[in-house]
Amino acid sequence: MPEKKINVLFVIKPVQWSGADRVLLDVATRLNKEKYQVIFAIIGLHPDEEATIPDSFPQIRFDMPNLHGWRQFLFSLKLCWVMFKHKIHIIHMNSYHPGNYCRLAAYFLRVPVIIDHWHGFNRFNLKRRMLCRLYNRFTDLSFVVSAGVGEYVQQQCGTDPAKIRVLYNGVDLAPLESRKPSRQVREELGLPLDQPVVGLVARLDHRAKGHLELVQAMSTLKDTHPFHALMVGGGRRQEEMQELAASLGLAERVHFLGNRRDVPELLGAMDFFVLPSHSEGVSLAVLEAMAAGLPVIVSAVGGLPEIVRHEENGLLIPPKDPQALARSLARLLENPDLARSLGQKAQEHIKEKYSLERMGRVANESYDEQVKKKLG
């Protein structure tokens, strides 16, 4: 064991501070400070998001938001210099992009421990599959956010099962426990106090998060089960979804809030939470909603069935099925006792299995194993 601290480089490439980057920050802040010195390499971070990373962490910025063409080579060279200058012992980054460049650069610099972090079911064409199988030879540890993701990575990338460690995402319970009263949040948002509110927290950059299915389900129920919806998260498809909601007569019921950093507060305005994703690893938004005691309806895809047990702490529906979503919403709206029971059991489940403390303990154990193996 080196007498000095072990230098760990976390590489993040946030577009609008995605859940994957938040997870890396959660891991970094819970590493043993007596043993590990954490440094952040930040690629193309937006100026309005700089306060997200505590000032106590040294930060190295790469003003390279688009890693394409020659920028990939330039990024790799700069990253090599950073790792050499700061004598990095461990590098930890998200996969797949920019993880491949990081792993290759770390291999050339002979960084002792290379860790990647898998958050979902990435699409693998032949090129990606071949590259990941190659770079896996340089990877010492692959964190996965669920057992299902681990099996998928093993299948697609040929990852040695001995290198895979499930590291469940953690939820910070403190903001949920100290949030504003529901009535106050609704008044601030201009929401009615006497009608149910369903929430969906996800980027509107593509259709895979199920925003379309929620709007379609609301259209089915608008005459029999009036309720409002909060769409939290911006993106290039927000205008498209707003136009669809208006065309279906839902303009006054669907509220698009854009990017927000006060999600714990916004959860207080919701009665239900949905995430009808087409594909998903382990959603931080779902974990936070369950921790807040909300009954949830999610698609039975990816790692979500590992979190949500149907009829026990939430409801599962098939993906891309707005009618199934409408039926589940109607069921909870008509049965408040069921909704209350699901929310209570969801909260208990998250506190037991998905705490930040548990996440930090598993991360430190995994780091310590690699240090003992590679650094002696």
Residue 87 within a domain: yes
Same domain, 224 and 324: yes
Q: If 0-12 CB within 10 Å is exposed, 13-18 middle and 19+ buried, where does residue 126 land?
A: exposed
Q: Please give the pLDDT value at position 48.
A: 55
Residue 85 within a domain: yes
Same domain, 52 and 112: yes
Q: Is 98 helix (H, G, I), strand (E, B) or coil?
A: coil
Q: pLDDT (tens digit, 9 = 90+) per residue, 272-291?
A: 999 999 988 888 899 999 99
CATH of the domain at 111: 3.40.50.2000
Same domain, 127 and 230: no
Neighbours of 376 (CB within 10 A): 8
Same domain, 20 and 34: yes
Same domain, 225 and 84: no
Torsion of CA 256, 261, 264, 265, to 10 degrees: -70
Q: Is 230 helix (H, G, I), strand (E, B) or coil?
A: strand
Residue 95 within a domain: yes
Same domain, 202 and 315: yes
Q: Please give the pLDDT value at position 21.
A: 84
Same domain, 124 and 199: no
Residue 249 within a domain: yes
Q: Please give the pLDDT value at position 1.
A: 43
Q: pLDDT (tens digit, 9 = 90+) per residue, 226-261?
A: 899 999 998 899 999 999 999 999 999 999 999 888
Residue 1 within a domain: no
The rounded Cα 273 to chain-centroid distance in angstroms is: 16
Number of domains, the chain: 2
Could you list the residue range(s) of the whole structural domain that residue 19 is in? 6-170+355-374
Same domain, 245 and 274: yes
Same domain, 198 and 347: yes
Sign of the Cα torsion 227, 231, 237, 243 reads positive
This prediction has a pTM of 0.84
Same domain, 31 and 108: yes
Residue 104 within a domain: yes
User: Rg of the Cα trace of the chain?
Assistant: 21
Same domain, 229 and 344: yes
Count how many Cα atoms sit within 13 Å of the Cα of residue 174 in the half-sphere of its side chain: 3
Q: For the chain, 376 residues long, give each residue's pLDDT as a single digit of tens.
A: 445 899 999 998 765 556 788 889 999 999 999 999 999 998 875 555 544 778 889 999 887 766 666 777 888 899 999 999 999 999 999 876 778 889 989 999 999 999 999 988 877 888 888 888 888 888 999 999 989 899 999 999 899 999 999 999 999 888 888 888 999 999 999 999 999 999 999 989 888 999 999 999 999 999 999 899 999 998 899 999 999 999 999 999 999 999 888 999 999 999 999 999 998 888 889 999 999 999 999 999 988 999 999 999 999 999 999 999 999 999 999 999 999 999 999 999 999 889 999 999 999 999 999 999 998 7
Residue 76 within a domain: yes
Residue 163 within a domain: yes
Q: Is 210 helix (H, G, I), strand (E, B) or coil?
A: coil
Same domain, 130 and 228: no
Q: pLDDT (tens digit, 9 = 90+) per residue, 74-100?
A: 888 999 999 999 999 999 998 767 788
